[in-house]
Amino acid sequence: MTPEQKATTRVYFDLDYISEQHTAIFTADYNCIDHDLFTQTVTKLAAESSHEELFSKLDVDTFHGETEPTLETSDFTTEELRNLFIRDMLRMWDEELADNGGHIFTCVGQPWEGPHMLENMRDLVADPDERWFVLYYDFAEDDGQVTLDEMRERSGLFSHRWLNNLLTDDDTWCVRQVCYLPERVAGLSIEHGGDGYTMAIPESEIAKVKVITGAVVEK
């Protein structure tokens, strides 16, 4: 790129790559759900990443003119690439938190694969004594996203068997682990069919913060 093109071109890192890096951080140390520790870890990861590795995941977002500029390895210094990587890693955290009703995805992955869960969640899903607060979100009828307050007030309480039947149902196409912040309450976002998704939080996780105030029905 020419200096003029670089000044008017916005670049970004491949979202799948950024998502994979998020999951890898939480897999290695779930305590990184703390924002300060997450930032420190991202900064360290950036410092350990090579120019070649980072540049290979970079793409053009927006540009001025009729022709998209071609990115060349010489267009960015290693320090610039590392700073862009930190920017996109922290942006994903901030945007997820703002857009998703107060939670971020701590384990992501492609649809029809998975379920995408960290070890701590796999243990809870496998526990026959664990019960789950469950709330369905309908894209057409509900506003916003499922917040932790809504989970406290509107969800029903479901059994281990019910949850596992949902996770293994043929129409369940994406299961990803989430964490509500700042409470640090872990749960699952379960996409089933095409009209919405189900948010499920283990009873033991909800117990960390506050007693559910809504009507609870055992299923």
205-217 pLDDT, tens digit per residue, is 887 775 444 434 3
What's the whole-number average pLDDT of the chain?
A: 87
- Determine how many CB atoms are found less than 10 A away from the CB of residue 113: 10
Q: What is the mean pLDDT of residues 108-128?
A: 90
Rounded Cα–Cα distance for residues 201 and 152 (Å): 10
Q: What is the mean pLDDT of residues 108-126?
A: 89
- For residues 15-29, one letter each, b for 16 or more C-beta atoms within 10 angstroms of the residue's C-beta and e for the rest, the string is eebbbebbbebbeee
CA distances in angstroms from 21 to 15, 96, 104, listed in the order given: 10, 15, 14
Task: Look at residue 219 in the predicted model and tell me its pLDDT.
Answer: 37
* Both structure tokens of 183: 């409470």
Task: Look at residue 111 in the predicted model and tell me its pLDDT.
Answer: 83
Rounded Cα–Cα distance for residues 82 and 76 (Å): 10
Band (pLDDT 50/70/90 cuts) for residue 115 is: confident
Does residue 69 have a cis peptide bond before it, meaning omega lies within 30 degrees of 0?
no
H or E stretch covering 183: none
Q: Is the pLDDT of residue 192 over 80?
A: yes
In 123-195, at which residue ranges do the beta strands (DSSP E only) sit?
132-138, 156-158, 172-180, 185-192
Rounded Cα–Cα distance for residues 122 and 144 (Å): 28
Q: Which long-range contacts (CB under 8 A, 24 or more apart) does 90-93 make?
A: 90/39, 90/42, 92/15, 92/18, 92/19, 92/22, 93/22, 93/35, 93/38
Q: Is the pLDDT of residue 143 over 70?
A: no
Q: What is the mean pLDDT of residues 135-162?
A: 82
Comparison of pLDDT for 168 and 213, the residue scoring more: 168
Task: Look at residue 148 in the predicted model and tell me its pLDDT.
Answer: 84
Helix (H, G, I), strand (E, B) or coil at 143: coil
CA distances in angstroms from 10 to 13, 68, 84, listed in the order given: 11, 11, 11
Task: Look at residue 112 in the predicted model and tell me its pLDDT.
Answer: 85
* Both structure tokens of 93: 């955290």
Q: Is the pLDDT of residue 22 over 70?
A: yes
pLDDT > 70 fraction of the chain, expressed in percent and rounded: 93
Task: Look at residue 214 in the predicted model and tell me its pLDDT.
Answer: 44
Task: Look at residue 217 in the predicted model and tell me its pLDDT.
Answer: 38
Residue 42 phi/psi, 5° resolution?
-60, -40
Task: Look at residue 100 in the predicted model and tell me its pLDDT.
Answer: 85
Task: Look at residue 64 in the predicted model and tell me its pLDDT.
Answer: 84
Q: What is the mean pLDDT of residues 11-20?
A: 93
